[in-house]
Amino acid sequence: MSDLRSLGRRIRQLRGFDCTQDEFARKLGISQSQLSKYERGIVAPPADVLIRIKEQFRVNIDWLLTGEPEGTGYISRR
Protein backbone atom coordinates (compact mmCIF):
# COMPACT_ATOMS: atom_id res chain seq x y z
CA MET A 1 0.00 0.00 0.00
CA SER A 2 1.23 3.50 -0.71
CA ASP A 3 1.77 5.85 2.18
CA LEU A 4 -1.18 6.91 4.29
CA ARG A 5 -1.17 10.51 3.12
CA SER A 6 -1.55 9.43 -0.50
CA LEU A 7 -4.38 7.10 0.44
CA GLY A 8 -5.99 9.95 2.36
CA ARG A 9 -5.75 12.23 -0.67
CA ARG A 10 -7.52 9.63 -2.81
CA ILE A 11 -10.29 9.26 -0.23
CA ARG A 12 -10.67 13.05 -0.10
CA GLN A 13 -10.72 13.10 -3.92
CA LEU A 14 -13.62 10.63 -3.91
CA ARG A 15 -15.52 12.76 -1.43
CA GLY A 16 -15.08 15.75 -3.68
CA PHE A 17 -16.05 19.29 -2.88
CA ASP A 18 -19.81 18.77 -3.01
CA CYS A 19 -19.97 16.33 -0.08
CA THR A 20 -19.11 17.20 3.51
CA GLN A 21 -17.01 14.90 5.65
CA ASP A 22 -20.10 14.24 7.76
CA GLU A 23 -22.19 13.18 4.74
CA PHE A 24 -19.42 11.00 3.36
CA ALA A 25 -18.78 9.41 6.76
CA ARG A 26 -22.48 8.58 7.18
CA LYS A 27 -22.49 6.82 3.80
CA LEU A 28 -19.61 4.66 5.04
CA GLY A 29 -21.04 4.07 8.51
CA ILE A 30 -18.14 5.78 10.31
CA SER A 31 -17.75 8.97 12.32
CA GLN A 32 -16.70 12.26 10.78
CA SER A 33 -13.67 12.36 13.07
CA GLN A 34 -12.56 8.93 11.87
CA LEU A 35 -12.92 9.98 8.23
CA SER A 36 -10.87 13.07 8.98
CA LYS A 37 -8.07 10.87 10.35
CA TYR A 38 -8.14 8.75 7.19
CA GLU A 39 -8.07 11.80 4.92
CA ARG A 40 -5.16 13.35 6.81
CA GLY A 41 -3.19 10.09 6.72
CA ILE A 42 -3.10 9.71 10.49
CA VAL A 43 -4.52 6.19 10.51
CA ALA A 44 -5.24 3.61 7.82
CA PRO A 45 -8.85 2.64 7.21
CA PRO A 46 -9.53 -0.98 8.14
CA ALA A 47 -10.31 -3.48 5.38
CA ASP A 48 -14.07 -3.31 5.93
CA VAL A 49 -14.08 0.46 5.38
CA LEU A 50 -11.93 0.13 2.26
CA ILE A 51 -14.39 -2.44 0.92
CA ARG A 52 -17.33 -0.10 1.65
CA ILE A 53 -15.54 2.74 -0.18
CA LYS A 54 -14.88 0.43 -3.12
CA GLU A 55 -18.49 -0.75 -3.28
CA GLN A 56 -20.22 2.58 -2.53
CA PHE A 57 -18.21 4.60 -5.00
CA ARG A 58 -17.37 1.87 -7.54
CA VAL A 59 -13.64 2.45 -7.48
CA ASN A 60 -10.90 0.02 -8.24
CA ILE A 61 -9.29 -1.22 -5.02
CA ASP A 62 -5.85 -1.15 -6.69
CA TRP A 63 -6.29 2.55 -7.40
CA LEU A 64 -7.58 3.21 -3.90
CA LEU A 65 -4.61 1.50 -2.25
CA THR A 66 -1.79 2.42 -4.62
CA GLY A 67 -2.96 5.20 -6.91
CA GLU A 68 -2.25 2.96 -9.90
CA PRO A 69 -4.94 1.63 -12.24
CA GLU A 70 -5.60 -2.09 -12.11
CA GLY A 71 -3.01 -4.24 -13.81
CA THR A 72 -0.18 -1.72 -14.01
CA GLY A 73 2.27 -3.79 -12.03
CA TYR A 74 5.69 -4.46 -13.44
CA ILE A 75 8.03 -7.40 -13.76
CA SER A 76 11.54 -6.92 -12.51
CA ARG A 77 14.25 -8.02 -14.93
CA ARG A 78 17.48 -9.38 -13.55
Query: pLDDT tens, 25-56?
Result: 999 999 999 999 999 999 999 999 999 999 99
Q: Which is it for the CA torsion 39, 26, 52, 54, positive or negative?
A: negative
User: What does each C-alpha distance from 34 to 25, 38, 61, 69, 77 come to in angstroms?
Assistant: 8, 6, 20, 26, 42
Of 69 and 59, more confident: 59
Q: What pLDDT, on the 0 to 100 scale, is given for residue 68?
A: 87
Query: pLDDT tens, 5-22?
Result: 999 999 999 999 889 999
Residue 70 CA to residue 29 CA, distance in Å, equals 26
What residue ranges define each of the domains in the chain, with the CATH number in brackets?
4-66 (1.10.260.40)
